[in-house]
Amino acid sequence: MVKTGSFGNSQDINKSVYNNTFYGVEDGKVYADVAGSVMQSHSFDLKSSFATDLRSGWMDTVEENLTQLKSMGTGAGGTGLTDNPLIPISYKQEIIDLTRKQTPLSFVMRSVTNQGIVAPYKQVTAKPTAFFALENATLTSSDATFDVLSENIKYMYAKGSTTGPLNAGAPSYNLMGTMPPQNADPRGSFGNTNASNADQLNILLQAKSLLELEEETIINGDKSTNPEEFDGIVAIMSTTNTVAKGSTALYLDDFITAGRYAYDDGGYVNFGFCDTVTYQKTIELINAKVSLRSYGETTEYGFTAVKINTGFSSGAIPLVPSRFLSSTAGSQSAYLLDLSVWEKRVLQDMTYEKLAKTKDSNEFFLKKYMCIICMAEQFNSSITAMTN
C-alpha cells in the first residue's frame, strides 16, 4: 500500500539508496549538462562532487557484468593473421621439407672424373683361345676381342631467384631433412642445415632438387623418351638376368636365383635396392624364417638396410629401400648390383653460378654435367614384375 503524502515526496523513498550517489543534491536537480542545454552560459558536471563518483561506479558495474557474461577472446578487436590480432606470431627457426627423399644410389655409386663430353669405356668380349698340343707342335695364335663403348655426358640445372625484400626481412632458418655432403658421416642420412638468409635457404632447396633429379635419373632415366637425360639402371639392365615374377609374390629364393644369374655371368653382387613394398615384404620373409626376435635391419652407407644372403657374394649384401621405384602391384622390383662396374662419370660436379643482377633480386643457378655407365650389365641382376 502506498504511503500518504505527495507523489515523489522524499519521505516516500529509501534515502540511503538515493544518498549513496546523490548525497547533498536535492531531488529533481540537473546534475550534469556537459553540452549546456539547460544553462546556456556554461556546461557543468557535478558527478565528481557526489559521495560516490557515478562514472567509476558505473564502469565497475559494467565491467563486472561483462566479465560474468563473456571474457574477451583471442579474436577480439578485429581480424589479422590467423584472426588473432592481439597475439604476435612466434618465430620458429625450423622448416621441414615435406617432399624430402633419400638418395642412396647417388652416394654409393662411385664418382669418376671425365674430361670431355663423352664417357668412354672398354670391354673384352672374347679372350684368346688356350689349347693343348703335342711336344714341339706348331702353335696357333689367337687374339682377344675388344669393344669400345661410350655414353654422352648430360647437363642438369636448377635455377633460383630471391628478391631483395625477402632477403632483408626473412630471418635465419634451420632446414630440416637435408642430405649432408657426400663425404659426411653417415652418408645419406637426413640432417639439418642452417641457412642464415633467404638466399642460402633457396640455394639449399635448389641443391636438394638437383640431387633428387640425379637419383631419379640414375634409377629411371630413359634417353629414348627424353634425349636430354642419360639412361638409368632400369633401362640399362632391361631384361638382363631378370627373375621375372609375372605379377606374383616375392620369395627369398628369388634373391638367391638373381644372385646366381649375375654370378654365372661373371658378376659378384654387393649392393641391392628395391621399392618400399618389396622392402617390407623382405623383412617379413626374413623374420618369418629366423623368428621375430631377430630383426633384420642394419645401417649400411648411412641408410637403413636388410642383409640378404644370396650365396653368390662375399657374405650378406645390404638391400636398401628406394623412394624412386614404383611400389604399384605388378611393377615392384629389386636390383642387385656389382658396384665395381658402375660409375658416375662427371665432367663438372654441382656448381653454383650467380647471374647478372637486372632487378631487385639475386638470381643464380646450379649445374652438374654427368652420366652413368655400366661396364658390364650381365654382372648384375634383378627381380621384376612383383605383386606383394
Q: What is the pLDDT of residue 92?
A: 81
Q: Which burial class, exposed, middle or buried, applies to 56 when counting CB atoms under 10 A from its CB (0-12, 13-18, 19+)?
A: exposed
Residues in the chain: 388
d(CA 242, CA 141): 37
pLDDT of res. 44: 54
The CATH superfamily of 104-131+140-386 is: Major capsid protein gp5 (3.30.2400.10)
Q: Which residues of 266-278 are buried (b: 16+ CB within 10 A; e: fewer)?
A: ebbbbbbbbbebb
What is residue 335's predicted lDDT score, i.e. its pLDDT?
98
| Angle of the 276-290 helix axis to the 252-264 helix axis, nearest 10 | 110
pLDDT at residue 296, rounded to an integer? 60
Q: For residue 41, what is its C-alpha cell?
A: 552560459
| Contact by Cβ (8 Å): 350, 213 | no
List of long-range contacts for 55-64, beta carbons under 8 Å, 24+ apart = 57/21
3-class DSSP assignment, residue 368: strand
Domain positions in the chain: 13-67, 104-131+140-386
Longest dimension (CA), the chain: 161
Q: What is the DSSP letter of 232?
A: -
pLDDT of residue 45: 58
Q: How far apart are CA 109 and CA 221, in angstroms?
A: 15
238 Rama class: left (phi>0) / alpha (psi -120 to 50) / beta:
left
- Supply the DSSP symbol for 379: G
pTM: 0.77
Cα→Cα distances 59→64, 218, 226, Å: 8, 75, 77
What is the H or E stretch that residue 164 is in?
helix 164-169
Q: Which three cell numbers stand for residue 222?
A: 630413359
**What's the pLDDT at 302?**
60
My answer on whether omega of the bond before 104 falls inside 30° of 0, hence cis, is no
Gap between the Cα atoms of 212 and 107, Å rounded = 12
pLDDT tens for each residue of 183-202: 444 334 567 888 889 999 99
- For residues 308 and 169, what is the distance between their CA atoms, to the nearest angstrom? 52
How far apart, in Å, are the Cα atoms of 143 and each of 124, 127, 130, 260, 338?
Answer: 11, 7, 10, 30, 28
Give residue-wise pLDDT tens across range 136-191: 999 999 999 999 999 999 999 999 999 999 999 988 888 887 755 444 443 345 67
Which residues, listed in sequence order, are joined to residue 198 by a DSSP beta bridge?
none
Query: Coil, helix or strand for 272?
Result: strand
What is the DSSP code string of 194-220?
EESSHHHHHHHHHHHHHHHHHHHHHHH
Q: What's residue 80's pLDDT?
A: 59
Give dist(CA 4, CA 268) in Å, integer.
122
Residues 6+ apart with CB under 8 A from 312: 256, 259, 260, 262, 263, 268, 269
What does the pLDDT profile of the chain (388 residues) look like in tens digits?
444 444 444 455 456 655 666 666 666 566 565 555 555 555 555 655 655 555 555 556 555 555 555 566 666 666 655 566 666 777 788 888 888 888 889 988 999 999 999 999 999 999 999 999 999 999 999 999 999 999 999 999 999 999 999 999 988 888 887 755 444 443 345 678 888 899 999 999 999 999 999 999 999 999 999 999 999 999 999 999 999 999 999 999 999 999 999 999 999 999 999 999 999 999 989 888 765 444 566 666 666 788 898 888 878 899 999 999 999 999 999 999 999 999 999 999 999 999 999 999 999 999 999 999 999 999 999 999 999 8
pLDDT at 185: 40
